[in-house]
């Protein structure tokens, strides 16, 4: 028996999130279905992050115990490429020590939200970027984002139905940068995230960028601990889990 750490990427458009759900198509469910076909027995995976329905991942980590060693670990990405559906790719697989845990051992994670700022939407990025053609005040957005960095109670910035008892999280940094082809990136790095936290942060920053919310109000919004005080929840399709850091190296 050998514990394996894998990195997978997926287009989340046609999934009901990462975590397995009965009678629904999920990323974890598809990976475990294929592994059961390959090895002839149930294989339970543990993911680093539970991405929501419609959210993508470039770097999702998971671990599982290899039922037997007849297949070389280094060949798993190539073998599973022919078994997995086209919207999931197993990027890498390495053996790890038995104590490794994909979720508990993650030091921090980064999510990237992509915004298409062109006058007309790019048809080839519509599944992965939110189209916003109105001019955005990036400096105001950066000023607002800086107030969210550090350790805070993020009750205001999570879904009302979030089940986590403690809403205290640490945001290591929020960067807002322009890319090629009219794309704007909002990168949020932190130790962990609440349900819809990044999407609500993005929705609130967009309101700041559009001038409907003052950039200096973020501290007060945090202090209110009331979901109604923040902005809208940005659509899921613009969000991607982009990086997970471990003590042994990147995810």
Q: Tell me, what's the pLDDT at 65? A: 92
96 with 112, same domain: the answer is: no
CATH assignment of the domain containing 116: 3.30.70.660
37 with 139, same domain: the answer is: no
pLDDT per position as a tens digit, 213-229: 999 999 999 999 999 99
User: Residue 79, SS3?
Assistant: helix
125 with 98, same domain: the answer is: no
Which of 77, 104, 131 delimits the end of a domain? 104
Q: Which DSSP symbol is given to 3? A: E
CB 122 within 8 A of CB 246: no
30 with 6, same domain: the answer is: yes
- Please name the residue that has the structure tokens 């115990």: 65
Q: Is the pLDDT at 235 greater than 80, yes or no? A: yes
Average predicted confidence (pLDDT) for the chain: 94
Tell me the average pLDDT across 25-44: 94
Q: Tell me, what's the pLDDT at 181? A: 80
pLDDT per position as a tens digit, 180-192: 689 999 999 999 9
- 251 falls within a domain: no
User: Cα–Cα distance between 199 and 239 in angstroms, integer?
Assistant: 7
User: Cα–Cα distance between 159 and 233 in angstroms, integer?
Assistant: 9
- From start to end of the chain, where are the E strands? 2-10, 46-47, 56-66, 88-95, 108-116, 130-131, 150-153, 168-178, 183-190, 239-246, 249-250
User: Cα–Cα distance between 100 and 59 in angstroms, integer?
Assistant: 17
Residues 126-130: contacts with CB within 8 Å, 24+ apart? 126/237, 127/11, 127/13, 127/237, 128/11, 128/56, 128/237, 128/238, 128/240, 129/183, 129/237, 129/238, 130/234, 130/235, 130/237, 130/238
226 with 138, same domain: the answer is: yes
Report CA-CA distances (Å) from 213 to 3, 156, 222, 231. 49, 15, 14, 9
Tell me the average pLDDT across 200-210: 98
Residue 250: band (very low, low, confident or very high) from pLDDT cuts 50, 70, 90: low
Number of domains, the chain: 2
Domain of residue 40 covers 2-104
Catalytic residues: 52
Strand 108-116 versus strand 183-190 pairing type: antiparallel
CA-based R_g, the chain, Å: 19
Full-model pTM:
0.94
Tokens of 178: 């322009």
Which of 48, 77, 104 delimits the end of a domain? 104
120 with 231, same domain: the answer is: yes
CA trace torsion 131, 149, 8, 61 (10° rounding): -160
148 with 77, same domain: the answer is: no
């Amino acid at each position: 028996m050998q514990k394996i750490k894998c990195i997978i990427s997926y287009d989340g458009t046609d999934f009901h999130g990462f975590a397995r759900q009965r009678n629904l198509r999920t990323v974890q469910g598809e990976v475990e279905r294929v592994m059961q076909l390959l090895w002839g027995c149930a294989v339970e995976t543990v993911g680093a992050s539970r991405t929501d329905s419609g959210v993508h991942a470039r770097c999702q980590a998971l671990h599982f115990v290899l039922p037997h060693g007849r297949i070389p670990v280094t060949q798993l990405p190539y073998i599973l490429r022919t078994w997995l559906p086209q919207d999931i790719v197993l990027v890498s697989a390495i053996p790890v020590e038995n104590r490794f845990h994909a979720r508990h051992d993650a030091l921090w994670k980064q999510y990237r939200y992509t915004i298409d700022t062109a006058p007309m939407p790019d048809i080839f990025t519509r599944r992965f970027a939110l189209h916003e053609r109105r001019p955005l005040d990036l400096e105001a957005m950066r000023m607002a984002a800086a107030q969210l960095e550090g350790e805070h109670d993020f009750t205001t910035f999570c879904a009302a139905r979030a089940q986590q008892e403690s809403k205290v999280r640490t945001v290591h940094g929020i960067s807002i940068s322009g890319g090629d082809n009219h794309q704007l990136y909002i990168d949020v790095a932190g130790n962990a995230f609440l349900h819809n936290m990044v999407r609500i942060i993005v929705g609130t920053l967009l309101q700041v960028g559009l001038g409907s919310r003052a950039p200096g109000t973020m501290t007060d919004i945090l202090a209110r601990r009331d979901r109604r005080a923040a902005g809208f929840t940005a659509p899921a399709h613009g969000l991607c889990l982009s990086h997970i850091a471990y003590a042994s190296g990147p995810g």
